[in-house]
A and B are shown apart, each in its own frame.
Chain A
Amino acid sequence: MRKTAVINLICIVLLCLVLSPAQARIYIDITSPAIRKLPLSINTKGPSGAKKIEWTVKSDLEATGMFEFVDPDVPGAEIRADLRVDTSDGLKVILTVTDLIENSEVLKKRLDASSMILRTMAHSVSNDIYNIATGRKGIFRTRISYLVNSSIGRKELRVMDWDGYNSKTVVSRGLISSHSWSGDGRFLFYSSERNRKWKIYIRDLRRPVETVLFSSRGLNLVGGTSPDGLVSFSSSRDGSSEIYTIDIHGKRLKKLTRSFGIDVSPVFSPDGGKIAFVSDRGGTPQIYIMNADGSAVRRLTFEGSYNTSPSWSPADDLIAFVGRKNGKNQIFVVKSDGSDLRQLTFSGNNESPSFSPDGFFIAFDSDRDGGRSIYIMRSDGEGLKRITPGYMKAMSPKWSPYFK
């Protein structure tokens, strides 16, 4: 009896060792200019639901453009991911990643999902494969907040998985406009018009609690959040719309701009040191950058007469924005010094760009298919994918940060 107990204990220790292998090699260097596609095969065993997990994993990884899927029965893959799905008691996946060149196991992990849903689990599997392959954190468990036009003059705030599934309504009251995530992904800030007043509200996503962050006469539109917990917004409390910052408790209000025209849509740089915003001080709406204390204002965009909706990449020195070209709104990216301007969309009207937390994807809305839907593409404009159904009038996506 005692002996078997000891053997069991040894087995458990051995299993634990197997479950935490050391990782050394990076298979895809995403910093290299020409990324080679990594040949990957996915081998899934389990009941009928298992294929659904495999399908989601493939769809996640496919979107990066970094993987080439090889049939498990055909040679040529450099990496093989084995998914053993077990649904006999809750939902379990044993993920084994094998380096077929070195013929060594580089990851073995057991994911237990008795309380998790299938897709969420699949996204976790994708994150692990992506992390092994690139050494980077995957975004497959992040979410996107967005607006749905439920009827004329009404817009509700919803949150969905990054691939458009698992959508939930967060706020359905009034007319909602700009919105932004807190740095930890726990809160949503949003501007809403109710009874002819535009206020900025906060919604705790863990509890059904809504509070007012900022209220004044005029138009109050939330912009973004900084790593040290400041919220940027525009307000016309003093008459003309100017840029302000405030902390998340509604204290430490600071007015940053004083111009006659419209100043709107302020977003922080990833380090919180700078703010990009839209101003028509030069006669047409253009994007400007200033220090987060309001000093050193300079104009960023010079092409065209309508440039709005800046979004700062959380990872790179890149700002996405909406520019009007040949009468249509298109998504552009530019470096913060104004160099390397590139147009990413060419079809229909494309608005509201928002970067994924790794800076690798951009979510935006477009009318290219007739309605108004949310799409994602990679930040080089490749890999376009519609993620909201065509019948739904969906717009203004804001990508969440990584969740803690």
Chain B
Amino acid sequence: MKKLFVVLLLVFAVGCSKKYAKAPEEEAVKPAPPAMVETVTPAPEVAEEVTGEQLPVIEEEKITAEELSPEEKAKAVFTDVLFDFDKYDIRPDARPILDAVAAFLNENTELNIIIEGHCDERGTNEYNLALGERRAKSAKNYLVSLGVAPSRIITITYGEEKPLCTQHNEACWQRNRRAHFVVAK
């Protein structure tokens, strides 16, 4: 019983002459707090990455139109439509591009497309997602006004999350403020 009391007092003992093992490194001491540890699922490999603008295929050696599949032809027609900072209205320089895309879609009625809306890095992330969606929809509305069925066009925004160009200057920002066309698979 006395022992018990002594133990109790020891808890409050000031110093202790006993040699302690060196405190383990922080990382080793950290037992993972419950539940927080696991990720929901292991990150899967992105199988069908639709992003990342293919570098202009147009410059490649000329193949006659007959040899190209509609998807390959699409790549030649699908040029990015660019926007002003914090704007989502279609600029005059975008109209010829959209006219060509509409004409192509009206010729190749078996193809559906995805329009991705993108922004430069300067805005804030959430607002940029909403802005990117507006850009994709502006492009879609324009194509619909030229007779493309709305059901053939899916829009998706990536905001500033998938930049084409990562330098911090206006030339780069302009390339990133874009609506990008991809053939839906």
Binding site for B on A (CB under 8 A): 1, 4-5, 7-8, 11-12, 15, 45-49, 52, 84, 86-88, 92, 94, 110, 115, 117-119, 152-156, 159, 165-166, 168-173, 175, 177-178, 193, 196, 198, 203-208, 210, 218-219, 221, 234, 236, 239, 241, 262, 264-265, 278, 284-285, 305-306, 308-309, 322, 327, 329, 349, 351-352, 395-396
Binding site for A on B (CB under 8 A): 1-2, 4-5, 8, 11-16, 18, 20, 22-23, 26, 29-44, 49-51, 86, 114, 122-127, 129-131, 133-134, 137, 154, 156-159, 161-163
Given contacts A47-B20, A205-B36, contact A219 B130 (CB under 8 A): yes
Checking B15, B26, B35, B124 against A208 with a beta-carbon cut-off of 8 angstroms, the contacting residue is: B35
Considering the chains assembled together, what is the distance between the CA atoms of A179 and B179 in angstroms? 26
Name the residue of chain B whose CB is nearest to the CB of A159.
Answer: B36
Name the residue of chain B whose CB is nearest to the CB of A234.
Answer: B130
Asked if B20 contacts A206 (CB within 8 A), the reply is no
Asked if A278 contacts B36 (CB within 8 A), the reply is no
Q: A94-B12, A117-B31, A177-B126 are in contact. List 18 more A-B contacts (CB 8 A).
A: A4-B1, A8-B1, A8-B8, A84-B13, A153-B49, A156-B43, A172-B39, A173-B40, A173-B43, A203-B40, A205-B35, A206-B34, A206-B35, A210-B40, A221-B126, A284-B86, A305-B86, A308-B126
Given contacts A15-B8, A155-B161, A219-B130, contact A173 B39 (CB under 8 A): yes
Give min CB distance, B153 to chain A, whole Å: 12
Q: Across chains A and B, which 8 residue pairs bring their CB atoms closest together, nearest first?
A: A49-B23, A47-B20, A4-B1, A208-B38, A206-B35, A153-B162, A262-B130, A308-B124
Given contacts A219-B157, A221-B130, A234-B130, contact A172 B43 (CB under 8 A): yes
Majority SS of interface residues in chain A? Answer: mixed
Asked if B124 contacts A322 (CB within 8 A), the reply is yes
Q: Which residues of chain A are within 8 angstroms of B161 by Cβ–Cβ distance? A: 152-153, 155, 175, 177
Considering the chains assembled together, what is the distance between the CA atoms of A290 and B30 in angstroms? 44
Considering the chains assembled together, what is the distance between the CA atoms of A171 and B43 in angstroms? 9
Q: Which residues of chain A are within 8 angstroms of B156 by Cβ–Cβ distance? A: 193, 196
Q: Which residues of chain A are within 8 angstroms of B49 by Cβ–Cβ distance? A: 153
Checking B4, B16, B35 against A207 with a beta-carbon cut-off of 8 angstroms, the contacting residue is: B35
Checking B23, B44, B131 against A48 with a beta-carbon cut-off of 8 angstroms, the contacting residue is: B23
Considering the chains assembled together, what is the distance between the CA atoms of A231 and B16 in angstroms? 53
Considering the chains assembled together, what is the distance between the CA atoms of A5 and B23 in angstroms? 37
Name the residue of chain A whose CB is nearest to the CB of B19.
Answer: A47
Checking A168, A175, A278 against B32 with a beta-carbon cut-off of 8 angstroms, the contacting residue is: A168
Q: Which residues of chain B are within 8 angstroms of A49 by Cβ–Cβ distance? A: 20, 23
Considering the chains assembled together, what is the distance between the CA atoms of A395 and B159 in angstroms? 15
Considering the chains assembled together, what is the distance between the CA atoms of A118 and B25 in angstroms? 10
